Structure 1
Amino acid sequence: MTDYDKYDALIFDLDGTLVDSMPAHYQAWQQTAAEYGFEVDEAWYHTRGGSPAWLTAQSLIETFSLSVEPQVLADRKNQIFSELAEMEVVVLPAAEVAKTYAGRKPMAIGTGTLTDIADKLLKKAGLLELFDVVVGADQVDAHKPSPDTFLKCAELLSVESHQCLVFEDAPFGIQAAKAAGMDVIDVTDAKRV
């Protein structure tokens, strides 16, 4: 028996937790930025982990005084990322936990990525069939660090939020899990926070 057995459901972030897609997300932002005449600093970008593209776009527009709508910028980034996601997907160690508990516990994905792109990444990684629910950025109004993504996962799994364990890699996601009243494992150092 592991510590995970005491929970009624497991919820996983996607990017940086189950698959190493963060470099592709950053590359997509770099290409988008080049098209719109600005640059994205990698250190700054990593502070945005777990945030949906339109919120990152909004921040970039404010930072660089761009005259483009956030959704237009986000849509372009998502289009580029979707093309990049067709390439090889690297599966991360947290996926082993999901494989171990598939069919034994209700499991969900709670991600800042759009649902259709998340589904595509999970399918490419051979992980989609492990999960009962995928909640993407397009399914909630308030995004990480708000708890809404994880609360929707719990609701769709029919599990009380305090009975869920979240696996996350990003500060926004960790904050969101805590705000949802859930325990959380920071997969970057594999400890509960």
Structure 2
Amino acid sequence: MDTNALALPAGNFKAYLFDMDGTIADTMPLHFVSWTQAVEEAGGTFPEDLFYAWGGVPLIGVVENLNRHFGYKLDPAAVAHRKEDLYLSMLDQVTPVASVLEHVHAQYGKIPFAIVSGSPRDSIRRTLTTLNLLSYFPVIVGAEDYKQGKPNPEPFLTAAARLNVEPVDCLVFEDADAGIRAAEAAGMQWVHVPS
């Protein structure tokens, strides 16, 4: 038995919804480096424990969280833009998460897939293109597509609606606690992808 295999809950799922960063793509170390640099350039710090705790939160929300947490006055749009530029400059270092990729390949063409992420759509598309996976995901729900990010269920419910699949029939693949809480709030079963 493959010790890296992900055990799926029982169910006859009609769609798979995948978080992007840390789930489909092993990007979290690159995001941490880019966040650290962008926040330090703006005069703040971003401790690693907070970075991982806030996984799945849209970019602007992360900067707003930092401002609230530390009393910073960072410009959310400027810091988020700088962070994305730094991340995109490192795309050639992105690799897929093998245990998740197995499930993508096993179910591709049998049920529909969606990406549900706190990242901007352009970043999602560019990451998927780097991994030669863009064609697998006809539905991409990025930070522009909802008002309330994870742990709110809105991102996952948006994806289910776009796929025309009932939430209860969706299985979520997610690495972050906020995403798992969002899946539960949406009435969806989930698989935790270890970091």
The TM-score normalised by the length of structure 1 is 0.91
Q: Distance in 2 between matches of 1:5 and 1:188?
A: 21
Q: Distance in 2 between matches of 1:142 and 1:62?
A: 18
Partner of 1:121: 127
The one-letter amino acid of 2:94's match is: V
Partner of 2:57: 51
Greater relative contact order structure (CA < 8 Å, 6+ sep): 2
For the pair 1:91 / 2:67, whether they are aligned, the reply is: no
Question: Percent identity, aligned pairs only?
Answer: 35
For the pair 1:143 / 2:146, whether they are aligned, the reply is: no
Deviations 1:120-150 (A, max 9, x none): 0011011111112111111111100001111
TM-aligned CA distance change 1:22 to 1:41, over 3 Å: same
The alignment of Structure 1 onto Structure 2 pairs a total of residues equal to 187
Q: Distance in 2 between matches of 1:4 and 1:90?
A: 29
Deviations 1:153-174 (A, max 9, x none): 1011010111100010100000
Alignment match of 1:63 (pick from 37, 60, 69): 69
Q: Which runs of 4+ in 1 moved over 3 A?
A: 2-5
TM-align CA RMSD: 1.6
Alignment match of 2:116 (pick from 110, 125, 128): 110
1:5, distance to aligned residue in structure 2 (A):
6.6
Alignment match of 1:15 (pick from 16, 21, 43): 21
Asked whether the equivalents of residues 63 and 74 of structure 2 are also in contact (C-alpha less than 8 Å), the reply is no
Q: Distance in 2 between matches of 1:138 and 1:126?
A: 23
Q: Distance in 1 between matches of 2:131 and 2:12?
A: 28
Partner of 2:158: 152
Q: Distance in 1 between matches of 2:43 and 2:76?
A: 15
Partner of 1:178: 184
Q: SS at the partner of 2:114? A: strand
Give structure 1 stretches of 5+ with no counterpart: none
